A = this chain, B = another copy of it.
């Protein structure tokens, strides 16, 4: 039994939705969450830059003696998961792309799915590749929804701007003939996007299943921990929060993503 914490990192606070799912699945585990808020977003940056940032974040967590690394950020998972596995071996590394692809393949019956993600995640084709490994017959439409990040940060969950943006990005998913969706499952491939889930579901209607990868990622982490004998029997795990920008901002926005009270005093400012 290993009482060391699990390290989780993201470009900002969006990954707290993943942390929340991890804690619900593994309440006895401890976690260190690192949000690289000073350099966010990752989704519009080049792969070599994101890889370098991911490496710095993971190295910081490993220096704090974590027993596993979870990359909560889709963009960092897309470009850095293999790289980090090589660099950090034997510390296991779990990303969100693989679990997200698995959830998507489980949810579709028509084998026509969509991925909504950042430009950085879409351009590398990581979801397509992960889905092809699970079921090569599944057809994937990927859409880079850059504006969704700002909409989520602005807190514009609904309203005319969000509706116009949802329509602009998702219109290609509707058949030109009947105006109904050509897919039956969709993954929100960025930790910010669950904030806009209601607006996306409303636009696409009840025949499209919207999956987010947080819960599936938590299942993968849980089973990997068990199979490696790394899980703990502690009564109640602890959580530490680290951020590269000011703690007060992390706490202000973060509490909506983690769904619990969070104050600046809970957050340690670090430099990477």
Shortest C-beta distance, A228 to chain B (Å), equals 34
B46 touches A249 (CB 8 A): yes
- Contact of A150 with B146 in the complex, beta carbons under 8 Å: yes
Residues in chain B near residue A163, CB distance under 8 A: 164
In the bound complex, do residue A161 and residue B150 qualify as a contact, i.e. CB atoms below 8 Å apart?
no
- Interface flags for A149-185 (1: CB within 8 Å of B; 0: not) read 1110110100111011101100000000000000000
**Chain A interface extent, by class:** 20 to 34
Identify the stretch in A18-26, A37-45, A81-89, A196-204 within 8 Å (CB) of chain B at 4 or more residues: A37-45
Residues of chain B contacted by A244 (CB below 8 angstroms): 49
Q: Is the C-beta of A246 less than 8 angstroms from some C-beta in chain B?
A: yes
Specify which chain B residues have a CB less than 8 angstroms from the CB of A260 in the assembled complex. Answer: none
Contacts of A227 in B (CB 8 A): none
Within 84-123 of A, Cβ neighbours of B (below 8 Å) are at none
B161 and A154 contacting across the interface, CB-CB below 8 Å: no
CB contacts (< 8 Å) of A44 on chain B: these are 153
* Chain B residues closer than 8 Å to A239, beta-carbon distance: none
- Which B residues are CB-close (under 8 A) to A150? 146-147, 149-150
Docked pose: A38 CA to B56 CA in angstroms: 14
Q: Which of B49, B149, B161 contacts A161 (CB 8 A)?
A: B161
A245 at the interface (CB under 8 A from B): yes
User: Is the CB–CB distance between A45 and B147 below 8 Å?
Assistant: no
Closest B residue to A163 by CB, please name it: B164
Check A245–B161 contact: CB distance below 8 A. no
How many angstroms from the CA of A167 to the CA of B245 in the assembled complex? 31
A38 to B48, CA, bound (A): 10
Residue of B nearest to A44 (CB): B153
Chain B, Cβ-Cβ closest to A168: B161
Jot down 26 A-B pairs with beta carbons below 8 A, ordered by A.
A38-B39, A38-B45, A38-B49, A39-B39, A44-B153, A45-B246, A46-B246, A46-B248, A46-B249, A49-B244, A49-B246, A146-B150, A146-B153, A147-B147, A147-B151, A147-B154, A147-B156, A147-B161, A149-B150, A150-B150, A156-B168, A159-B168, A160-B164, A160-B168, A161-B161, A163-B164
Interface residues, chain A, with chain B CB atoms under 8 Å away: 37-39, 44-46, 48-49, 53, 146-147, 149-151, 153-154, 156, 159-161, 163-165, 167-168, 244-246, 248-249
Known: A147-B154, A147-B156. 10 other contacts (CB 8 A): A38-B39, A45-B249, A46-B245, A46-B249, A49-B245, A147-B147, A147-B150, A160-B167, A161-B164, A161-B168
